[in-house]
Structure 1
Amino acid sequence: MKVKTISRVEKDFTQEVQMDKLKVFRNYDPALHPFERPREYTRALNAVKLERMFAKPFVGALDGHSDGVSSIATSRKSLVAFLSGAADGEIRVWDLPRRKCVWSVYGHKGFVRGLAVAPGGQTFFSCSEDKTVKQWALQIKDEDDDVPTALSTFQSKEPFLGIDHHWSNNMFATCSSKVQVWDHQRSEPTHEFAWGADSITAVKFNPAEASLLASTGSDRTITLYDVRVASSMRKIVMEMRSNALAWNPMEPFNFTVANEDHNLYTFDMRRMKRALMVHKDHVSAVMDVSYSPTGKEFVSGSYDRTIRIFNIHSAKSREVYHTKRMQRIFSVKFSADANFVLSGSDDTNIRIWKAEASKSLAKAVPRERRKLEYQESLKERYKHLREIDRISKFRHVPKAIKKATEAKREAHKREKLKMDNRRAHAKPGAVPHANTREQAIVRELE
């Protein structure tokens, strides 16, 4: 009896090194695969439907505060610990993986306006309306039952409204009616900056330029300061007040501000006469903004009770998160690994969200990871097609937000029609076209 066997040469299927390419027995000539595009479109459509089906962004809620959560801070050195401060002066240190409060203390007699972790991750600072800044040890072990005490206290004559720590040096900045720069070892500020009469609501150090910091004021200004020359560099005045500011950690010459006009504005500090991008979607004042460690996205929290995640190059939000019980949001932060978003609202709760709504928290096996990467490439390839674009962008939002969005859209249409009619009945060039990226900026001062 004659038996035919399949014979293969072993060296054709063996990699000498891991980077060697295996022999491919498939012909990739498009002429031999006429139904390739319809097949890929169907797979992309199924992938985007499954993505929306498995979108479960809410991870958990942390309760324990007895008043609204006013500030949240994360450590750049740790994926475990993060901090929260409340309107009643309570400070809590949390363990993120266990979703548990490690310790808490009533560290201030007033509103906790800001928290900042030192670069080493061993200590953190808190500021309050009781005119004090306190330094604390950042402990994530809960074996010690003693009440935590402040390592040091810094006094001022005015209530503090914000704080930020330098990215590498032992110095931090606070804001009140002026910006003050402090050293860990000194009880008095080393530098003071004042430009204008109104209070300053937020201050942030630049991630790359060690001597540069920016602030937002209640007089609608955004100001840049240089610690080396001990003076203000540049200031722009906007139409409405900015509530928060965040620097891009990967592109440190860019920063984003959260404004009262429901928008966020990304600026290049070298050319501040014009915004790089105007990010729209909120229907009420934006209260806080925080960048992802990757520098490609940022999260914003608003008075309209929603959290939105934006791509830095997109005017529209990629995701919107909301719950029935969540109230006005005053603080948002990305976790150090960019996988989670933390939000604090005035319903006394801190909520944990996934940065990717449909991403599984379990570790993916190699085969599953390859499939997910293939699906992502298909969605990217066919994202311009109508059905895939509609499904991927659709989000359920509360009725009040939907109605407010429709009202804003109608108002924008009416304004556009009015300006078109004015141009049609005026001399050419008499009614110029308004640039959205320049419209919100009143003037620039140097």
Structure 2
Amino acid sequence: MDSYDGENPLLREIDDFYSEIRWNNQFKYMGKLPSYLEDQINERKPILEQNDPFDIQEKPLSTALIPLDNTTRDVAGESLLDRYQKLITQEPRKHNPWKLSKVINGHLGWVRCIAMDPVDNEWFATGSNDSTIKVWDFASGKLKLTLSGHVMGVRDLVVSKRHPYMFSASEDKLVKCWDLEKNAPIRDYFGHLSGVHTVDIHPTLSLIASAGRDSVVKLWDIRSKKAVITLVGHKSPINSVKCTPADPQIISCSNDTTVITWDLVAAKPMKVITHHRKAVRDIAVHPGEFSVASCSTNDIRSWKLPEGSLLTNFESQNSGIINTLCVNQDDVLFAGADDGTLSFYDYRSGHKYQSFKTKQMPGSLESERGILSSSFDMTGLRLITGETDKSIKIWKQEFDSEFEELPWNPILSSQRF
């Protein structure tokens, strides 16, 4: 934001005002501002009453913008109308293109899940339908370790930042705790009635959350192995559960088309998000802001937390069945689809700036090109994908190359509000 150094307090106030509502730029398509925004304007009205250039209460937005013309400029010489248009359109940031860097083979089944070393960024683990967990050196791509213990496919993995533990969820109804110093399982968490699809670690409490085909979220005490809370609310298998340090501390998505944010103290839903029309297959929490993205068939949306209000509709038409989402600190959202399509989005604007098919492995069928899992490394500069051709692929950003960015249509992607 430009600094006015006190030269024109009115212009500074105007600029601050429109900066606060830039996330609500979808209002440019509406005839009238909503009531809660009018209340905010009423609070500011005494400040602006002296000159009253923005008397927009009870007026259509088009009428309210009449004073903003190209003759009204700030001290830097920029038209206030131009500045306002930039704020409401939320033009996408420029991001560097992605390309394939490395292909790793070793699993005998679909690669269902990926977990990155959260401390040193030196290794990552993958789980597969072949019931094994493999640990790979991130720099060289060489296999370091194979962990066996599950008797059915491994569906999810998560590595603790605070303990030398890794947790795995499997179709064999178990959640296992692996000691990464002993490279062996040390605890089993019994209690699910069917396959477990997802597991996550609470960032501040000694709890893990797991969920799966039995449609409930269970919270386990890590040390005692007891299920301390069972969250009931979904009506179909749960595909992903995430933990956050602040309310809502638990977020889950399900085949029942809903995303639920949970009140952990009351053990009941805080908000049930019903905007999706088909099964919600994955959710991804933004690492730098309190928001979450969710994906369904041809549908990706992001939600503001804790209230669960819609932030952005992503340009996800014709994207197929989206299985996996992840987002890095540079506001790049990745979506991997059943047909092998990799799509990269600007998280704030919803603009899809790059999309292409994954590299098909020699000898694999066309139908074996689906992307099932994904994870950025800790720097956000590398992307790891697990695929149905049993391969693991590492993608990297190119900083010096030019590519043909997909055109941006601000009508297709709703802007933040």
TM over 0.5, shorter chain: yes
Q: What corresponds to 1:202 in structure 2?
A: 240
Structure 1: how far apart are the matches of 2:412 and 2:349?
A: 17
The percent of aligned pairs where both chains have the same amino acid is 21
Tell me whether 1:232 sits opposite 2:244 in the alignment: no
Q: Deviations over 1:247-282 (max 9, x none)?
A: 112111x1100112x221111135545443333255
- The alpha-carbon deviation at position 120 of structure 1 amounts to 2.3
Q: Deviations over 1:324-352 (max 9, x none)?
A: 41510000110011110000001010000
Structure 2: how far apart are the matches of 1:219 and 1:116?
A: 24
2:201 to 142, 161, 165: 165
Tell me whether 1:107 sits opposite 2:149 in the alignment: yes
Q: Deviations over 1:201-220 (max 9, x none)?
A: 111012x4166111001111
Rg (Cα) greater in structure = 1
Structure 2: how far apart are the matches of 1:394 and 1:276?
A: 18
Seen in structure 2, the aligned counterparts of structure 1 residues 359 and 191 have a Cα distance that, compared at 3 Å, is: farther
Tell me, what secondary structure is at the counterpart of 2:281? strand
Q: Deviations over 1:166-199 (max 9, x none)?
A: 1233211001220011111122211111014322
Describe how 1:94-173 pairs up with structure 2 within 5 A. 94-120=136-162, 122-138=164-180, 148-156=183-191, 157-173=193-209
Gaps of 5+ in 1: 1-47, 361-387, 396-408, 410-433, 439-446
Q: Which moved more, 1:126-135 or 1:194-203?
A: 194-203
Tell me whether 1:215 sits opposite 2:258 in the alignment: no
Q: What is the TM-score of this pair, normalised by structure 1?
A: 0.64
Q: What corresponds to 2:283 in structure 1?
A: 245
2:405 to 381, 393, 413: 393
- The alpha-carbon deviation at position 392 of structure 1 amounts to 3.6
Q: What corresponds to 2:391 in structure 1?
A: 349
Which has the larger share of helix? 1
Q: What corresponds to 1:337 in structure 2?
A: 379
Kept in 2: contact 1:216–1:222 (CA 8 A): yes
- The alpha-carbon deviation at position 359 of structure 1 amounts to 5.0
Q: What corresponds to 1:15 in structure 2?
A: none
Structure 1: how far apart are the matches of 2:112 and 2:381?
A: 22
Seen in structure 2, the aligned counterparts of structure 1 residues 295 and 178 have a Cα distance that, compared at 3 Å, is: farther
- The alpha-carbon deviation at position 87 of structure 1 amounts to 0.8
Q: What corresponds to 2:360 in structure 1?
A: 325
Q: What corresponds to 1:278 in structure 2?
A: 314
Tell me whether 1:65 sits opposite 2:107 in the alignment: yes
Tell me whether 1:288 sits opposite 2:324 in the alignment: yes
Structure 1: how far apart are the matches of 2:98 and 2:287?
A: 28
Tell me, what secondary structure is at the counterpart of 2:334? strand
Kept in 2: contact 1:300–1:307 (CA 8 A): yes
Structure 2: how far apart are the matches of 1:436 and 1:335?
A: 27
Tell me, what secondary structure is at the counterpart of 2:196? coil
Residue type at the aligned position of 1:175: A
Structure 2: how far apart are the matches of 1:138 and 1:129?
A: 22
Seen in structure 2, the aligned counterparts of structure 1 residues 331 and 359 have a Cα distance that, compared at 3 Å, is: farther
Q: What corresponds to 1:193 in structure 2?
A: 231
Residue type at the aligned position of 1:188: K
1:308 to 326, 343, 356: 343
Q: What is the TM-score of this pair, normalised by structure 2?
A: 0.68
Seen in structure 2, the aligned counterparts of structure 1 residues 359 and 281 have a Cα distance that, compared at 3 Å, is: farther
What is the root-mean-square deviation of aligned Cα atoms in Å? Answer: 2.8
